[in-house]
């Protein structure tokens, strides 16, 4: 893949983001329609942190990129651990870091709609009344979270995005994955991680009006089907 040069990326940063969350914004990348650029809200974070944390960041500047690097490291580690099944990972592909005029950004595969642009997240799909049509891909995603031992400390309906670019639509967990603890207990213990996944998937189900069947590891409708 050809990564755009700094001038092209700066132009993207100056344009309006495709979507902006609490912690970062997501931008399109010129001439690469299947890739997005994620940039944390560095200036906002710097203004919010107390004096002690700002001092730590001056001493250890790489710390402010921890979320970006942890997600990338986690995705790449899984790709290397499961090379023959990497295409089945319920995560987007990491495609590199790039310096921008807003700070370090990360390039990721876009979870896209069939017509182009960002795909709908599970929350939006529920609001559109389309849950029944995506229950299959949603349960496949849940099964793969367990199968590949995905550590997802920030799993919610807004982070599960439907990607329709392949022959079969699939959900990707686009944010909030990777073990961020100093001691990576969830990565070290499959039992603890599975307990965490069950708890968070139950919250996801409640958020969109479904029921999480823990023993079957499947989403069901409130009616039980």
| pLDDT on residue 47 | 54
Q: 107: Cβ–Cβ under 8 A, 6 or more apart, which residues?
A: 3, 29, 35, 36, 37, 38, 94, 95, 96, 97, 98
pLDDT, mean of residues 79-100: 95
Mean pLDDT calculated for residue range 12-38: 83
Lowest mean pLDDT among 27-36, 114-123, 137-146, 178-187: 178-187
State percent of the chain over pLDDT 70: 80
Asked if residue 184 has pLDDT above 80, the reply is: no
pLDDT of 76 > 90? The answer is: yes
Chain-wide mean pLDDT for the chain?
Answer: 85
For 6-109, CATH number?
A: 3.30.200
């Amino acid at each position: 893949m050809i990564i755009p040069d700094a001038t092209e990326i700066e132009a993207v940063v100056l344009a309006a983001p495709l979507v902006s969350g609490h912690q970062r914004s997501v931008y399109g990348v010129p001439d690469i329609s299947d890739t997005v650029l994620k940039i944390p809200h560095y200036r906002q974070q710097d203004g919010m942190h107390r004096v002690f944390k700002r001092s730590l960041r001056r001493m250890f500047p790489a710390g402010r990129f921890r979320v970006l690097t942890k997600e990338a490291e986690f995705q790449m580690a899984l790709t290397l651990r499961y090379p023959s099944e990497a295409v089945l990972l319920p995560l987007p592909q990491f495609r590199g870091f790039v310096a921008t005029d807003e700070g370090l950004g990360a390039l990721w595969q876009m979870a896209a709609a069939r017509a182009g642009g960002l795909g709908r997240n599970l929350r939006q799909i529920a609001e559109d009344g389309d849950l029944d049509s995506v229950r299959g891909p949603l349960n496949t995603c849940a099964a793969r979270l367990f199968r590949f031992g995905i550590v997802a400390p920030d799993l919610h309906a807004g982070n599960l995005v439907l990607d329709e670019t392949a022959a079969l639509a699939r959900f990707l967990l686009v944010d909030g994955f990777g073990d961020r603890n100093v001691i990576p207990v969830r990565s070290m213990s499959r039992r603890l991680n599975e307990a965490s996944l069950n708890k968070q998937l139950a919250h996801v189900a409640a958020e969109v009006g479904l029921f999480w069947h823990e023993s079957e590891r499947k989403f069901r409708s409130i009616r039980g089907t």
